[in-house]
Amino acid sequence: MGIISARYIGAPLNKISGSKVNSILTKQDVKSGVTYFRSIFTVRMNEFDLVVLQEDVADGRLKAGDVGIILTVYNEGKAFEVEFVTLTGEAVAVETLLPHQIRDVRASEMLAVRDMAID
């Protein structure tokens, strides 16, 4: 069994290279690698993009998995104004959300339906 060498943009991701282990990975090595890859693969969300809610908000009225549309991007993506509507287009809520509260939609996902009381 050989040792795998991981590299990104010409620099070692960890201290394993070639045929021998130079040292054991530290937590900092792992954190810096994760931070780097997150910066590469972060999806930039723009106005009018569909997004998926990651957690319940609005006192539980909106549920994780609900789909909304970004109306406004604040401060280069530090916050988003997102509108949530019924299937007939009636506005349910407009919420200001942080990036960790929403994510982009995926091609492999389908919409589901749930009933809710509309004020």
The stretches of 14-116 forming alpha helices (DSSP H) are 27-41
Instruction: Spell out the domain ranges in the chain.
Output: 7-41, 50-104
> Exposure string (b/e) for 1-32, b if CB count within 10 Å is 16 or more?
eeeeeeeeeeeebbebeeeeeeeeeeeebeee
Question: pLDDT above 90 covers what percent of the chain?
Answer: 50
Structure tokens at 54: 């990651």
**How do strand 50-53 and strand 20-21 relate by DSSP bridges?**
unpaired
pLDDT at 60: 87
Give the model confidence (pLDDT) of 8-55 as tens digits.
Answer: 444 444 444 444 444 555 666 666 665 555 555 556 899 999 999 999
Beta strands in 49-98 (DSSP E): 50-53, 67-74, 79-85, 91-97
> What pLDDT is attached to residue 47?
95
> Cα–chain-centroid distance for residue 100?
6
Residues 69-74 have a mean pLDDT of: 96
Query: Among candidates 57, 86, 60, 61, which has minimal Cα distance to 69?
Result: 86
104 pLDDT above the threshold of 70:
yes
Coil, strand, or helix at residue 76?
coil
| Lowest-pLDDT range of 40-49, 71-80, 81-90 | 40-49
